Amino acid sequence: MNSPSRPDTKTSTPFLSDVKTLRDRARQHLDTGVVTDTYVGDVNQAIDILQAVLATEIVCVLRYTQHSIVATGLASEGVKAEFAQHAKEEQAHVMAVAERINQLGGTPDFNPDSLTGRSASEYATGDDLSSMIRENLIAERIAVDHYRELIRYFGDNDPATRHMLQSILAVEEEHASDMLDLLTTHGVAKV
């Protein structure tokens, strides 16, 4: 009876690096921070993508903040509080994305002159409570689709960025659900 052939363990490449190799690699190119030889993504492309994500999140902070201040009407207090909470959560996203850009060796771009041009979502204010909620729902739906695409893009090439985006996506999906609930609660017949 013939047994299946097994690769020669002496000549096959090990799955994991030995500790000495890990230590030696860690001492090389210290100026690149977290970007080591095992980073298989395109770091410059990752930074460019994250600059657009940063702009999107900043625009969302600005829109939610503006809405939290100017919303009026009988039911506005609860909605204003929801907008303010979302602005705070979007600000946390701004910080996470900016930190990741920095970790990858880039400089986060907070330039207000180019924010809306780099942002996936638009800065739309709305004239009344209903239109503000609707604009936020549209922006959240854009963010959800955008983050799903980016998560697929980063895949296993940059698991840390993918993980960060997955955690942001979960919050954006919650925000979209909140906005839909608000539209329904405030009697908007057609969503």
C-alpha span between 98 and 107 (Å, rounded): 8
Average pLDDT over residues 77-84: 92
Q: How confident is the model at residue 188 (pLDDT cuts 50, 70, 90)?
A: low
Is pTM, for the whole model, over 0.85?
no
C-alpha span between 75 and 137 (Å, rounded): 18
pLDDT of res. 36: 66
CA-CA-CA-CA torsion sign (126, 127, 131, 133): positive
Tell the CATH superfamily of the 42-185 domain: Ferritin, core subunit, four-helix bundle (1.20.1260.10)
